[in-house]
Each structure stands twice: as structure tokens, then as C-alpha cells.
Amino acid sequence: MIVILFTGGTIAMRNDPGGTGAQPALTPAEILHATKGIHAITGVETEEWGQFPGPHMTVERMWALRNRIVEHLARPEVTGVVITHGTDTLEESAYLVARSTASEKPIVFTGAMRTVSDLGWDGPANLFEAVRVAASPETRGYGVMVVIGGQIFAALDTTKTNTHLLDAFESPGLGPLGVLDEGELILRREMPPSPPVITPDSLATPIDIIFAAAGSDARLLDASREQARGVVLAAMGRGNVPPAMVPGIQRWVAEGKPVVLTSRTQGGRVGHTYGYPGGGRRLEEMGAIFGGSRRAQQARIDLMLALGAGMNDAELRIMFDS
């Protein structure tokens, strides 16, 4: 049996008759009624967990959703879990679950790019295919996946790359795990070995993300340092920042708060290439932590998990290096 958790998002929206735009409206029963063929695949159980647009998914809600998924996975009769989710934050919830949950049972996130009021509402097709993937013995052991637009992605490496196209998700540099072709599941690559999961009792918050751009200075770093427990820098290129940001980074390190370097680019790792002021090598020597190939939103989740689990600086460096 597959459990479907409905959390909201565009898949459950219609355009308001008053012209105020798309709003949450559809019940799980209405979405299931429009999704023909699911019951021919497997038995399902549904739960209306929430009606949240993607941007309304807070860190606390994502953690509560993760815990609810774990509860369902512990039930022996449940063979997999499907989650409908707003696409704006789907990758973050899916990544959080992937980094904090160990299960052989498939966990599949899906959503929609169009509402029921739009031509070509993609919600039913995406939900059908998500259930198809979750119910397949071939995906057992694949962990957390994202199924949308006929493609299957690993939650550890997928991201939303378009604001409106139906195939809005990609795994940059890697490609999808597989595709669905007229209901047939075709896996094209294996899941890479996953790093050890981190299972704190709660997440450490707040963790901020600060984006580096030409001419950026230390103002946002200093403002964030007053309350945040850690910061992730979406730096340039290989992990480089404008020189005016450097004093702000030094003040973070001096207070013993972690600064994690990522890149604002779509692919590649941060590294030791550049030794000029603000270069990645100099920042690491100063005490910043390289985030590897993680995107900033992924590094933020890892830092929340790791600090929540009580990791010290040395342990953080080992974890981010994995």
C-alpha cells in the first residue's frame, strides 16, 4: 500500500473567479478522482497533511512533514510514500528527507506547474507517475526521489530550473535517474552511494543564505550574525567573494559560528583554486567551510541538520567534505 500525503501547492489550486490568481482549492479526493488508474497500480491511503503553497513551507513544517513520513514508513503494510508539494520549495523538503531518513521503501515527491484551471493541468499525470514509481519493486532502495514531467530524479541532486515549464526540474550535470514512457518505468542510471543520514531531534535554526554579487560588502553578513547560528554563502565561481565581504566573514569565524561556502553556479565544486583576497583558498584558511558541490539551499539544510545533531567544527568539515 502507498500512502499519499497531500501538502498543497499548485497541484491543489485553481484560479480564483475574482481574478486574484491561483489559490488553494482542491481536496485530495478531487485530485484523486481526476487521476485515473491509480487503483489499478496499488492500494492507496490518503492524508491531507496541509494546503500550503510552496513558499509557505517553513523549516518547521518541513521537519514535521519529514517526521510524518517516517511514521508512515514504520508501518509494515506501507510499501512507499508519495508526497504532493508546491514546486517552489519541493527540492528543499525532498533534500531534507533524503539527508535525514534511511529507508528501503521509496519516498516520492511530486507536484504540478499548472493549476486545474489551466489548459494541460499536469497534476494528475504527475501524481499517477509518482505512485507508479513508488509502487515499483525496481525503485526499492532508491531512497527519496522527485517525479515530475515524466522524469525521475534523485532528491539529493535535483533542483527547479524554470519558473513555468512543465519540465521545470533537472539534475544539473547528472540527468534524471530514469523516465516514464506510456506507464513503463525505465531506469537509466543507478543511485550513487548516499552519505550517512543525519537524524537530530530537531533542526538548528535560523541558518541564513547570503548571495554574493559584484560589489557586495559585509552589511548582510553583519546583520545576519546577530541572530543566525550559521550562514551559507552563495559565492561566485569556485567559492570566491568580493574583498569587501571578507571582514564580515572574519567576524563570523571569530565568534565561532560556521560559514559554509557554496557556489551560485549550477554545477561544480568550490575549491582552493584562487588565493587572491576573497578567493576560496584564502577564505578556507580564514576558517570558512567548503560546501563541496552543494547548492546553497542544500548546504543550508545540511548545516541545520548537523548543528542540530551537535556536530563541532571538525565534524562539520568532514560532513561537508563527504
Residue-level pLDDT at 17: 81
Last residue of a domain, one of 126, 157, 187: 187
CATH number at residue 57: 3.40.50.1170
Total structural domains in the chain? 2
Domain containing residue 55: 2-187
Q: Tell me the C-alpha distance between 266 and 274, whole Å.
A: 19
Last residue of a domain, one of 137, 157, 187: 187
Q: Note whether residue 140 is domain-resident.
A: yes
Domain identity same for 224 and 170: no
Domain identity same for 213 and 86: no
Domain identity same for 309 and 182: no
Please report, for residues 4, 259, 296, the alpha-carbon distance to residue 270 in angstroms, rounded to integers and kept in the order given: 38, 13, 11
Residue count of the chain: 322
Considering 10, 79, 110, 139, which one is annotated as catalytic? 10
Q: Tell me the C-alpha distance between 50 and 47, whole Å.
A: 9
Q: Tell me the C-alpha distance between 186 and 179, whole Å.
A: 5
Active-site residue flag, 10:
yes
pLDDT digits (tens, 9 = 90+) for 120-140: 999 999 999 999 999 999 999
pLDDT digits (tens, 9 = 90+) for 247-277: 999 999 999 999 999 999 988 999 999 999 9
CATH number at residue 254: 3.40.50.40
CB neighbour list of residue 60: distance below 8 Å, 6 or more residues apart: none
Q: Which of 33-42, 108-117, 187-196 has the weakest average pLDDT? A: 187-196
Last residue of a domain, one of 156, 187, 218: 187
Q: Note whether residue 262 is domain-resident.
A: yes
Q: Which residue has cell 542510471?
A: 189
